[in-house]
Amino acid sequence: MVLLAGIPMDAAAVLSSVLESILYGFSVLMCLGTIWTFTYKRHTQDVNWPIAVVAALLFVLSTTHIVVVIIHTERGLVKYRDTFPGGPVAFFADVTQDTFIIKNAIYTLQTLLGDGVVIYRCYVVWQSAWVIILPCMMWCGVAASGVCSVYYFSQASTAEIENFFGSRIGHWVAPFLASTLATNMLSTGLLAYRIWMIERKVSAIRTTKRKVPILRVLIDAAVLYSAALGSSIICFGLWNDGLYVMGDLIVPIVSITFYMVFIRVATSQNNQYYPSAAYRGATETRLQQHPMQPFIRRPNDSKSSLGDSPKVETRSLAY
């Protein structure tokens, strides 16, 4: 059996359960804050239901995941502690366990949903399908590698379980992590660049100062998610059992980063505005500003352009 670096598998299972429970608690609070944001003093018809559905799905997936993790931990440490060959360490290393497969399937779905939201935000800001072609192709790569990794988990042999990182299972896990990180960084980079260009063009004529710049909000969320993925990749490269811990922690982190953007934008929406105007000529400048509404649709939303840049829809990129 290949010896892996890091903590024993049973200790890793306990640690991941405790840490994920803490992060899940934060995500629940942020989910409640998100719900309050788009329901407080709002009419039902004004709610952006697609985004509400995404928020609900993230909550359901993270809740299901923590439940499965607790069941998996209970089975390894209590139910099969004395009957499973090799004890708890061997049980938690067995990737063919149904609870292990289910929680990794949920992790894949959560990742796809989170990356899809970032790509859609990118499309809303750029208002061009050409810009998101590469991110969409990379997203498909994430989906393919994620589905294959879950499938090979269920079909793993004893030799592959003992040599997880060097087997075909690891060969699918590595591209899944790498493609997820690349997709998120590319989409966030395109999003941040577009916002920076718009902000630079209107900074000279803005009369109010933003409390929490939207660019910083997006970067904070991207850094948090990227740090978690980067830690997973490092653990994989070192053949470290910490990969199992990070795999469980990323699920609530995806929800937290999603809720973070909406809550922080909503709490400062009175001071945040999106530019919506067409610059015509060297001496004539017109600017129309709309308050940021992360979850609220405006019936009179319109499209406009900034200079020679592509048209930008005056809706929140939190959409």
CA-to-CA distance for 249 and 24, rounded, in angstroms?
9
Per residue, the 3-state secondary structure of the chain, as one string, reads: CCCCECCCHHHHHHHHHHHHHHHHHHHHHHHHHHHHHHHCCCCHHHECHHHHHHHHHHHHHHHHHHHHHHHHHHHHHHHCCCCCCCHHHHHHHCCCCHHHHHHHHHHHHHHHHHHHHHHHHHHHHHCCCCCCHHHHHHHHHHHHHHHHHHHHHHCCCHHHHHCCCCCHHHHHHHHHHHHHHHHHHHHHHHHHHHHHHHHHHHCCCCCCCCCCCHHHHHHHHHHHHHHHHHHHHHHHHCCECHHHHHHHHHHHHHHHHHHHHHHHHHHCHHHCEEECCCEECCCEECCCEEECCCCECCCCCCEEECCCCCEEECCCCCC
State which of 26-30, 188-192, 240-244, 266-270 shows the largest mean pLDDT.
26-30
Q: What percent of the chain has pLDDT over 90?
A: 39
pLDDT computed for residue 250 by the predictor: 94
Mean pLDDT of 302-310: 38
Provide the angle, in degrees to the nearest 10, between the axes of the packed helices 133-154 and 98-126.
Answer: 180
Structure token pair of residue 81? 């502690």
User: In which band, very low, low, confident or very high, does the pLDDT at 192 lie, cut at 50, 70 and 90?
Assistant: confident
Choose the weakest-confidence range: 124-128, 202-206, 289-293: 289-293
pLDDT computed for residue 311 by the predictor: 42
pLDDT tens digits, one per residue of 37-58: 777 766 777 677 777 888 899 9
User: In which band, very low, low, confident or very high, does the pLDDT at 299 lie, cut at 50, 70 and 90?
Assistant: very low
pLDDT computed for residue 179 by the predictor: 94
Q: Please provide the average confidence, as pLDDT, over all residues in the chain.
A: 79
pLDDT computed for residue 6 by the predictor: 67
The yes-or-no verdict on residue 67 having pLDDT over 80 is yes
The yes-or-no verdict on residue 162 having pLDDT over 50 is yes
pLDDT tens digits, one per residue of 90-126: 999 889 999 999 999 999 999 999 999 889 888 888 8
pLDDT computed for residue 256 by the predictor: 93
The distance of Cα 111 from the centroid of its chain, to the nearest Å, equals: 6
Which are the contacts of 96, defined by CB distance < 8 A and separation ≥ 6?
Answer: 153, 154, 155, 156, 161
CA-to-CA distance for 217 and 192, rounded, in angstroms?
10
* Inter-CA distances, 191 with 27, 84, 126, 288, Å: 24, 50, 8, 21
The yes-or-no verdict on residue 306 having pLDDT over 70 is no
The yes-or-no verdict on residue 302 having pLDDT over 70 is no
Which are the contacts of 148, defined by CB distance < 8 A and separation ≥ 6?
Answer: 172
pLDDT computed for residue 207 by the predictor: 57
pLDDT computed for residue 127 by the predictor: 86
290 bridge partner residues: 274
Structure token pair of residue 125? 């800001």
The yes-or-no verdict on residue 288 having pLDDT over 90 is no
User: In which band, very low, low, confident or very high, does the pLDDT at 205 lie, cut at 50, 70 and 90?
Assistant: low
